[in-house]
Structure 1
């Protein structure tokens, strides 16, 4: 799905890491925008802040926090030292009453089949369209608010949305957020604390490339991924992207329903 001319595949950069848990299909080596599997809690974000902050702002913030945290930090550190070698499961605990054997037998039965009406190339086409539309949405968002994009000598500059895949745009947006470059006011309803979760829900789009080992997705999963893209466009307040993705959702859902009806008619 991706053009090799549009991406930087050099493994030597340390600016970015992989944006998702899986490995991209177009390269077995890490890209320049690789996500380093770091876990970021949305609670670390500010409820509202400017795009940039001057050094005095951070000095005031640091001084105000240090005075309130000093006593709590000392107490917390002493507790951590005491419990560092202790497993909480070795202390007082309980075991839940197991379910009845009949229920366990029912739960262990073969999982129900979820309908799959789209063939592989149709699924790839849908997910690629979502990936490309979200990349354009992220490009416009970064350009509109003039957020900085780090440069790397081994990676081409970003001049169009296709210069980075969606997973790489996700990592850039997450880094901008954790570095407090994105103010809450530019997002839908100021949802800065939900930023990470909403972005990561769309990361499975990286599997839209030609993956020989990728299992076929069921219809509900395909619609779920399109819906996740719609939520990202909504968060970034991109009405055009929302309309395009909603149209794709409606068309895909109608195609699935038509094939489901035809299958029932034949049977």
Structure 2
């Protein structure tokens, strides 16, 4: 019988001896794009731009659709209906995917993923001294646990959309993929919060861990990537051992 997953996760690799940098709330001002007085240097050019913008605005407003009409109110097409056999096959009972871990084991894994993601975000924000807006109903951030993973995601998304995060600090400068990668790792928190949720299949649990790996990768956090890789391998191995054990029990009970 394989050891409980909790005992295996307790032996997670320790992330070196480096201390986490202290966070700060000091505001980093975005550089101004215009020098004071610069608009007066080229009055003719500005006048031409203003005229062009007015013309452009006129053209845009002339193309607006009246009321609540959208593109589906205009000319459209419909695809040919699939055959009755195709529909019958598609509406058949969905295949059952392997579900090996119980609720407690799944919750523990997903909680570990959330905790490590929060630390990953905390280290990233502290390393590059990104500002954290102060909120009256929340305490200052001193540790990764001072904010939920969903709150870290919101902060990072706001920093990205406000162009506070330069592409050079992300893996391969993937600033356009940044928000998508963060949102793919959000569901882990939603799952752990829902106590009445159905069991997730094994592939789904491994997918959550992989989503954490991608966050660590785009944030260029080597230690976090190593942790998620270790967690993935351990979980996959435990699932495999549990399946073998169940098959052996079923075989012996059938004799």
TM-score by length of 1: 0.73
- Structure 2: gaps of 5 or more residues: 1-27, 39-44
Residue in structure 1 matching 2:136, options 142, 153, 156: 153
C-alpha deviation, 1:54, in angstroms: 2.0
1:223 Cα deviation after fit: 0.4
Kindly state the Cα deviation for residue 200 of structure 1 after the two structures are TM-superposed. 0.1
State the structure with more CA Rg.
Answer: 2
Q: Partner residue of 1:97?
A: 80
Shift of 1:72: 4.2
Deviates more, 1:180-189 or 1:94-103: 94-103
Q: Which has the higher helix share?
A: 2
Match of 2:61 in 1: 77
Question: CA, structure 1 residues 213+190, in 2 after alignment: closer, same or farther (shift >3 Å)?
Answer: same
Q: After the TM superposition, which residues 35-74 of structure 1 pair with which residues of structure 2 at under 5 Å, given as runs? A: 52-57=29-34, 67=49, 70=53, 71-74=55-58
The aligned residue for residue 117 of structure 1 is 100
Q: SS at the partner of 1:112?
A: coil
Contact 1:130 1:226 in 2 (8 A): yes
Query: How many Å separate the matches in 1 of 2:247 and 2:72?
Result: 52
Cα deviation, 1:165-195, whole Å, max 9, x if unaligned, reads 1111000000111111100000000000001
The residue that corresponds to 1:142 in the other structure is 125
Misfit runs of 4+, over 6 Å: none
C-alpha distance after superposition, 1:87-126 (max 9, x if no partner): 4333222221111101100111111101110000000110
Cα distance in 2, alignment partners of residues 201 and 128 from structure 1: 16
For each residue in 1:186-223, what CA deviation from the matched residue of structure 2 results, as whole angstroms up to 9, or x when unmatched? 00000000011000000011135363311111101000
| Distance in 1 separating the partners of 2:171 and 2:238 | 31
Q: For residues 52-81 of structure 1, give each alpha carbon's deviation from its aligned partner in whole angstroms, at most 9, with x where no partner exists.
A: 532235999xx99x949825443223211x
Q: In structure 2, do the counterparts of structure 1 residues 210 and 203 end up closer, same or farther at CA, with 3 Å as the change threshold?
A: closer
Counterpart of 1:258 in 2: which secondary structure? helix
Is residue 216 from structure 1 mapped to residue 199 from structure 2 by the alignment?
A: yes
How many residue pairs end up in the alignment? 213
What is the alpha-carbon distance in structure 2 between the residues aligned to residue 87 and residue 56 of structure 1? 37
> What RMSD in Å do the two structures reach over aligned CA positions?
2.5
Structure 1 portions without partners, runs of 5+: 1-50
CA change 1:187–1:110 in 2 (3 A) is: same
